[in-house]
Amino acid sequence: MTRTVRYSIIGALAVITGLLIWLMGGEGSTVPVAKGKVKYMSSDWSKPYSWSSKDPYGLFIFNDLLKERVVKDSTFSVQRSSQLDSLASHDRIGTYFFIGNEFGLYNEEIDTLFSLVEKGADLVVITGNVTDNFSESFNPGLQFVFDYTQKCKVLSGKEEFEMIYLLQNDTLAYPWKMIWHPDAYNSATKKISTISGHANFISFPLGQGRILIHSTPECFFNYQLTRRDGFRYAHALLNEIDRGKKLYYLEIARLKDKEAEDIFDARQDEKKEGKRDDSYLQFLFQTPALRTALLLTLIGILLFLIFRSRRMRPIVGVLPPKRNMSEIFVTTVASIYRNKENPYSVLQLHKKNFYNTIQKHFYIDLSKRTDHREIHNLASRCGIDEQEITDLLQRLELSESNSCTESFLTETALLKRNFYMKAGVITDRIIARLDDKENVLYRPLWINFPLLLLGIALILWGLFMLVKSNGVGIVMWPVGSVIVLWSLLRLSKPLFKLNAQELSYYPLLGKARNYALTDLIRVEKLSNGFSFHFRDGKTLRVPHSELGGDQRKQLENYLIRNKIIEF
């Protein structure tokens, strides 16, 4: 599968997904029907029981009719328990109205509401689903039966009203609910309307007030009230509501359509235990747009894993690069030195390498010389003074291991390199490559890795606290993220880049600082780090905590090699 085909598949999936979302998410719109007027048209059948919605399942028309029965500008939406308690404490006698798919309150909220009814308020509940605690408030419990039919005949007095259930402009069979044995609740129960001989709208007194229960809220959708029978039936229901009282919308009792009765019971138990689900994940799963975004994200990750899990292999085989034997030799010498920490052992390697190089280029075996003749022949062939060769050999053939220090080893390596350059063993091309080569020094790992692990632990802990609805998580995961980013920055960003012309210093934040070696006056080796002094009064301080042991030695060798300082 080529890259073009993979990208085409991903693009096609994205287009199809966007098209489905667009087709399934139709919104209301307005179209002109006459000069100076517009008609509202909607194809959104997914939002029921919204007081201000003009969609088919909205309650905009019913709300206008309801407001005509109450005192003007005297409506109030009860959203919280504290508001209901405040109304009860001030004896706010009015009409407490609910219409929706499911009605539910906590026990203490139901008691508060019934106390208001006993004082003269009216409670109107229009729903076919109630929670157990509300149903058990009546003796016997409030129960419903249903009649599954396309067209529902509702009788109120001598009048008959035909109700239908529409979905996407199609008439469907629907379970129209009715109240089972309404006479059992109160001997003075009044049946206002019936379906198939069973009451769907009843009224009975409680104290000085009344409770009105209607089991078919589908009768008051916008599309229903645009029909003649639906509009007349709404008027018949509203005639049962007393005029002149204030209207209180019981939005506190509205449960989501997807929230089943057992979910409400679980919330009731949580409140008894003093707990409540306040985690931020609830908002992710409650919003359809966020759920869709999460699903698309998971699909994208799955597609990425599918396409990237295939072994990536070029069509044309790649020739392996030639091995740099000089680099391998230097790496070997460095590893031996790190293992033994003995400069004298490295000096023996330099001596052996020098003997082999002279024998290879000048056919002179210095390791088996018996007199001064081999040195004389070498000087004549390479054009270098005999005394200089003798001094170099005396250094390489040092017999006292205690006299070999790191500075002595560094000076010997520089003398050997100068000899190779004068003798032509190292060509100008090799010298240019060596001068262009950069040494890169990084910050120590013993600080970076613990920081990285600490940051990851804080992020996981913060997310765990958020899931447990603990506010500490809000602070922990950002702190952990900052620590992770800081440690990754320390791991990825070098401290120094060193070459023969300049020294580049890379702070964690900000741009690199480049210093020419010709501007470097002196370097002080302090107890806690290095202090670089440049012309024009510039100073650069590098603490030891920014340099590990190996990086510190590499920096010292670089400064010695360029004859800046001596240790």
The answer to whether residue 27 scores a pLDDT higher than 50 is no
Distance CA 374, CA 389 (A): 11
**Confidence check: pLDDT of 28 > 50:** no
pLDDT tens profile 292-313: 887 888 888 888 877 766 555 5
Tokens of 117: 């009814």
User: What is the predicted pLDDT for the residue at 34?
Assistant: 42
> Using 50, 70 and 90 to split pLDDT, how confident is the model at 18?
low
* The pLDDT of residue 413 is above 60: yes
Tell me the average pLDDT of the chain.
80
Sheet containing 520-526: order of strands: 520-526, 529-534, 539-543
Could you read off the pLDDT of 233-267 as tens digits, one per residue? 998 888 888 887 888 999 999 886 444 444 445 44
Closest CA to 50 of 89, 122, 99: 99
Give 207 or 34, the one with higher predicted confidence.
207
Strand ranges (DSSP E) for 109-220?
A: 122-126, 144-149, 151-156, 159-164, 166-167, 170-171, 174-179, 190-195, 198-206, 209-214
pLDDT at 216: 93
Beta 539-543 vs 529-534: how paired, if at all?
A: antiparallel
The mean pLDDT value for 130-151 works out to 85
* Region 196-224 average pLDDT: 91
The per-residue pLDDT for 340 is: 63
Q: How many C-beta neighbours within 10 Å does residue 495 have?
A: 21
Check residue 26 and give its pLDDT.
45
**Which pLDDT score is estimated for 16?**
67
Collapsed DSSP state (helix, strand, coil) of residue 404: coil
Task: Report pLDDT digits (tens) over 449-465.
Answer: 888 889 888 888 888 88
Q: What confidence tens digit (pLDDT) does each residue in 318-360 have?
A: 566 676 666 676 677 667 666 666 788 888 888 888 899 888 8
pLDDT of residue 218: 92
Choose the most confident range, by mean pLDDT, from 122-131, 420-429, 509-518, 541-550: 122-131
Tokens (6 digits) for 105: 């309150």
**Is the pLDDT assigned to residue 411 strictly greater than 90?**
no
The answer to whether 160 touches 154, Cβ cutoff 8 Å, is: yes
Q: Nearest 5°: phi and psi at 520?
A: -80, 120
Three-state SS at 199 = strand
pLDDT of residue 488 exceeding 50, the answer is yes
For the ranges 71-75, 180-184, 243-247, 357-361, the maximum mean pLDDT occurs at: 357-361
Of 7-21, 95-109, 121-135, least confident by mean pLDDT is 7-21
Looking at residue 400, what is its pLDDT? 83
pLDDT at 163 over 90: yes
Q: What is the pLDDT of residue 399?
A: 84
Whether 13 has a pLDDT exceeding 80, the answer reads no
pLDDT of residue 319: 65
Q: With contact defined as beta carbons under 8 Å apart, do 527 and 517 qualify?
A: no
Residue 277, pLDDT above cutoff 70:
no
User: According to the model, what pLDDT value does residue 314 have?
Assistant: 56
Do 218 and 48 touch, CB atoms closer than 8 A?
A: no
Mean pLDDT within 116-122: 92
d(CA 16, CA 430): 60
Q: Look at residue 146 in the predicted model and tell me its pLDDT.
A: 87
Mean pLDDT of 163-184: 84
- Comparing 32-36, 384-388, 466-470, which segment has the lowest mean pLDDT? 32-36
Q: How high is the pLDDT of residue 228?
A: 92
Q: Is the pLDDT reported for residue 232 higher than 60? A: yes
Going 496 to 502 to 507 to 512, the CA torsion angle's sign is negative
* Share above pLDDT 70 across residues of the chain, in percent, rounded to a whole number: 78
pLDDT at 9 exceeding the cut of 70? no
Q: How confident is the model at residue 36 (pLDDT cuts 50, 70, 90)?
A: very low
The per-type count for the chain, helices as H runs and strands as E runs, is 19, 22
Q: Which residue has the higher pLDDT, 129 or 11?
A: 129
Judged against a pLDDT cut of 50, whether residue 35 lies above it is answered with: no
CA-to-CA separations, 434 to 428, 430, 441, in angstroms, rounded: 10, 6, 17
Residues 369-390 pLDDT 10s: 888 888 888 888 888 888 988 8
